[in-house]
Amino acid sequence: MILCAAVTGFAQADTTGKQNNEPDTIKVGSMLIIRKNGGGREIIRNRKNEETSHEYHRRYYKPSNVSTNWWILDLGFSNFNDNTNYSNALVSGFITADVNSESMKLRNWKSRNVNIWFFMQRLNVVEHVVNLKYGLGLELNNYFFDDERVHMFKNPTLITIDPDYAGIHKNKLAADYLTVPLMLNINFTPHRGKGFGISGGISGGYLYSSRQKIKNDGHKSKIHDDFDLRKWKVSYVGEILLGPVKLYGSYATKSMWEKGLDQTPYTVGLRISNW
């Protein structure tokens, strides 16, 4: 019945010529719909010649030249690409003979990356399609060793395999950075609030805290030291915007260690933000 009424309405639509300022008139069954030209108002008349008006508005997203997104959260995984020459590391005295690529492997699904960005700003460059993105935040990396016997000594740094650590519940290296990212953003849908786009660039981070954390039978112990980690980290960074879903990733330009080990860190995960 609805389909027949719609077809009848279109068949009875007023197709006579009209001036630009005349309203559009459509008859559907016993109802007459009058839409005012140049405005957002409809008038509906029923068989009793009673009128009902309805105003409508079309909403468009109008981006500003500078927009700020506060308190962005990243949840992902941390890992590193290990290209260490363990023979040279042994000769340098950075590791003991029982440390190798197998003992330094990480637990992939447990090594976590959490980033807390205080803010990110997007600056319009070309028609809101090409933008500059920058911000400030904290990068928190937790590297869980698959071999829980890994033990790090400080002053000087020495990494060894400690039999007393066998069977412990948690053994991780934490490295936290204060980071500034700078990216070029391409927004394919500039007039949509949650659009589609890509971003890429670099970030610079300063190592403000690092430690090895051990947990066994509810007892925790921490060894605070930089362990000859690089104070400054420069990384390639990028993100993919798929509407409400946002993915991020980073890959450092150098090893995370100043000497001894050649392990280049990288991260990947999900970004929770407004844009």
Q: What is the mean pLDDT of residues 205-231?
A: 94
Nearest 5°: the CA angle 108, 109, 114 is 100
One-letter amino acid at 73 equals: L
Report pLDDT for 260.
Answer: 94
Q: Which two tokens stand for residue 173?
A: 């290296």
Residue 16 clears pLDDT 50, i.e. is over it: no
Report pLDDT for 94.
Answer: 97
**Domain membership of residue 252 as a residue range:** 66-272
Question: For the domain that residue 190 is a member of, what is the CATH number?
Answer: 2.40.128
Percent with pLDDT over 90 in the chain = 68
CA 126 to chain CA centroid, Å, is 23
Question: Is there a cis peptide before residue 190, judged by omega within 30 degrees of 0?
Answer: no
Last residue within a domain, chosen from 31, 55, 79: 55
* Nearest partner of 120 among 110, 111, 132, 108, judged by Cα: 132
End-to-end CA gap in the chain:
45
Residues 181 and 228 in one domain: yes
Q: What are the pLDDT digits (tens) for 118-137? A: 999 999 999 999 999 999 99
* Non-local CB neighbours of 164 within 8 Å, separated by 6+ positions: none
Report pLDDT for 139.
Answer: 98
Phi, psi values for residue 90, rounded to 5°: -70, -45
Report pLDDT for 216.
Answer: 86
Residues 6 and 117 in one domain: no
Residue 89 lies in a domain: yes
Residue 200 lies in a domain: yes
Q: Which two tokens stand for residue 99?
A: 């440390």
Number of domains, the chain:
2
Q: What are the pLDDT digits (tens) for 153-169? A: 999 999 999 999 988 98
Confidence at 52, pLDDT banded by 50, 70, 90: low
Confidence at 53, pLDDT banded by 50, 70, 90: low
| CA distances to 50, 83, 214 from 148, in Å | 81, 21, 9
Residue 144 clears pLDDT 80, i.e. is over it: yes
Q: What is the mean pLDDT of residues 84-106?
A: 96
Report pLDDT for 267.
Answer: 98
Residues 22 and 48 in one domain: yes
Residues 119 and 246 in one domain: yes
CA distance 95 to 81: 18
Report pLDDT for 40.
Answer: 54
Report pLDDT for 188.
Answer: 94
One-letter amino acid at 222 equals: K
Residues 145 and 177 in one domain: yes
| CA distances to 135, 174, 231, 237 from 179, in Å | 8, 16, 12, 11
